[in-house]
Structure 1
Amino acid sequence: MTTPPQSLLTPLVMAPETMTVAISGVTGHVGGAVLRRLANIGEHGHLIGLVRDASRAPQRDGVEIRVADYADAAACEKALAGVDVFFMVSASEAEDRVTQHRTVIAAAVTAGVKHIVYTSFVGAGPEAIFTLGRDHGLTEEAIRASGMAFTILRDNFYLDVLPLFADENGVIRGPAGEGRVAAVARADVADVAVAVLRKPELQAGRTLELTGPEALTLTEVASRASVILGKPLTFVNETIEEAHASRAHYNAPQWQLDAWVSTYTAIASGELAVVNGTVQMLTGHPPRTLEDIL
């Protein structure tokens, strides 16, 4: 856990019924689940869902929808006005994602947000093998420098998504070797976020790494997913050169290609294999297994 600056050691203490919480990414898996669960609990004074497209906004009693794009500073500042706690789901993968993140963080400061909770990545920082983990590290730097209280949720790769790496022939391919990944279910990330947002003062200044219950090779992922899904999945190891070549037909920009390939090299390195008990500690239930979420 990273030690926060002294200025952040005085946490935001508010009764839930008077707290205004804004949740971004509410049309997605994690943000949407967090919004639904907090709305069902019904203890917060004001819940706000942030969307880029109002036509896709979920409609729930007691939830206000506001429209903002992370790249639009004025819209973000307006959308975050009056917000005490902001659950910031990381933006979609893009070459300018760090710029978008810095824009919305600055807007949160201007709007007077007191506490920000951010979905980052395990091992985020300049040395991360997964290239997008470096983007998360830069975002964390901006949050720590903002003066707001913060909680960082460093998620491992999503367990739900690993079987989706398979191509149309059921093959997961990449340079992961026999490396292991302690992937975490998106539902568990949402459960942790809900626990933090209900009592943000308890987690102020903390960086929490979220993992699943076990570290799996992609061979094991393919084998076990095959049983549940009723269709054969296999893993084929590639060299880095083969991985770049097998993805060349997508004509993706270099940053995106590097991100795809480094997903596998990060697993191969072993840096994503650590399993911890954070999910159980904060939610009261064990993290979900691959079989649970499939």
Structure 2
Amino acid sequence: MTSSSQDAPAVPGTTPQTIGLLGSTGHLGSRVAHLLDRSGTPHMLFARQPDSPKVPRTASTTQVRPADYTDPDGLRSALTGIDTLLMVSATESPERLQLHAAVINAAAAAGVGHIVYTSFIGAAPDATFTFARDHYATEQLLAAARDAGGPDFTALRNSFYLDVLPEFVGPDGALRGPAGQGRVSAVARDDVAAVAARVLQDPGAFAGRIVEITGREALTLEEVAAVITEESGRPVRYVEETVQEAYASRAHYGAPDWQVEAWVSTYTAIAAGEESTITNAVKEITGREPKTLRDLLRS
């Protein structure tokens, strides 16, 4: 957690829930764990390697159980006794949807009451950003499981993470991609974690809801480059590419076709205007304004 992260205070008047966190060793899951601890909210953690030093054990951690998205039987056993589950989306891969289905089925079999799923803004079957299609399909699986008597759910449709925008800058100081003059309302991981922590503490208030979580500004990549330059002192520029140039400039990574397509579609989704929506969800749910890129770079 960064020093600027704020507590997620306990929600008064709610029935205590047994909260479980999948993806607890990742950037988002670990933030949620620390926020729950700061509010004194007991929670259980799940990890492929429970003894890993990456597991964010805190005073409020009641137990750490082994769980792996690729092990349906193990998942069902691990999730037994959980009322409310944070389901962080699986690592990007062609098998991602199948892994999500395994978690949902295991949660239903284990009697989980509510799943809080980290989806993506603009999730749709025809979304330009290829991974947003997987998120839409996962939401459909969640709805089907609920309708069949399984867990209720809340989908947290997060925008692109503000934290990764500086990582898009190459060693030559260029932020390259076919984004045109499109805008992106990227959101800080800290803000997404704060929303998730509140939803986990009062899931009934968010049952069946799709919550679109964005930053409070939508920037072009040219503006992103300017802010990074001003705050870091490192000259950064936006270099607009054609789609063909984008594929060619990423070919040297040797990544599989599906991954390169996803990388490029990050930018084409921005160009298409699909990532420019600004919502008030962070402030409405956490009581504070979301960070700007400048805030993040200064923290």
Normalising by structure 1, what TM-score?
0.92
1:250 aligns with 2:253: yes
Show the counterpart of 1:187: 190
The corresponding residue for 2:226 is: 223
Q: Secondary structure of 1:116's match?
A: strand
Structure 2 unmatched ranges of 5 or more: 1-11
- Distance (Å, rounded) in 2 between the aligned partners of 1:101 and 1:15: 32
1:62 Cα deviation after fit: 3.2
Q: Distance in 1 between matches of 2:113 and 2:283?
A: 27
Whichever residue aligns with residue 25 of structure 1, its letter is G
Deviation at 1:194, TM superposition (A): 1.1
Query: For 1:19-77, what per-residue CA distance to the aligned partner results, in whole angstroms no more than 9, with x for missing partners?
Result: 10001111112111111111121134xx1111122223222223111111111101111
Q: Does residue 137 in structure 1 map to residue 136 in structure 2?
A: yes
Q: Distance in 1 between matches of 2:80 and 2:153?
A: 18
- Return the alpha-carbon distance in structure 1 between the equivalents of residues 25 and 229 of structure 2: 29
Q: Which letter does structure 2 place at the counterpart of 1:114? A: G
Alpha carbons 1:192, 1:279 under 8 Å: kept: yes
Matched, 1:163 2:166: yes
Q: Are the aligned partners of 2:155 and 2:210 in contact in 1 as well (CA < 8 Å)?
A: yes
Match of 1:31 in 2: 29
Matching of residues 1-294 of structure 1 within 5 Å: 18-44=16-42, 47-54=43-50, 55=52, 56-63=54-61, 64-147=63-146, 148-294=151-297
Aligned CA RMSD, in angstroms, stands at: 1.4
Deviations 1:201-247 (A, max 9, x none): 11101001011001100110111012212211111000000000111
Contact 1:121 1:136 (C-alpha < 8 Å) held by counterparts: yes
* Alignment partners' CA distance in 2, 1:190 and 1:268: 27
Runs of 4 or more consecutive aligned structure 1 residues displaced over 4 Å after TM superposition: 14-17
Q: Secondary structure at the match of 1:118?
A: strand
Q: Secondary structure at the match of 1:119?
A: strand
1-structure distance, mates of 2:236, 2:78: 44
Q: Deviations over 1:173-215 (max 9, x none)?
A: 0100110011111111011111111111111010010110011
> Separation in 1 of the partners of 2:15 and 2:254?
50
Tell me the distance in 2 between the aligned counterparts of 1:59 and 1:195.
19
The answer for the alignment partner of 2:8 in structure 1 is none
**Contact 1:16–1:43 at 8 Å: present in 2 too?**
no
CA distance in 2, matches of 1:229, 1:123: 31
Q: 5+ unaligned residues in a row in structure 1: which ranges?
A: 1-13
- Give aligned-pair identity as a percent: 49
Equivalent-residue separation in structure 2 for 1:50 and 1:218 (angstroms): 37
Could you tell me which amino acid in structure 2 is paired with residue 102 of structure 1? A
SS at 1:87 equivalent: strand
Query: Which whole-Å CA distance do the structure 1 matches of 2:139 and 2:211 have between them?
Result: 12
Q: Distance in 2 between matches of 1:165 and 1:235?
A: 10
| Aligned-partner Cα distance in 2 for 1:85–1:198 | 9
Whole-angstrom distance in 2 between the partners of 1:225 and 1:170: 10
Residue 15 (structure 1) shift: 6.7
TM-score by length of 2: 0.90
- Separation in structure 1 between the aligned mates of residue 13 and residue 25 of structure 2, nearest angstrom: 27
CA distance in structure 2 between the partners assigned to 1:59 and 1:179 by the alignment: 41
| Matched residue count | 279
Q: Secondary structure at the match of 2:69?
A: coil
The amino acid of 1:134's aligned partner reads R
Kept in 2, the 8 Å contact 1:17–1:43? The answer is: no
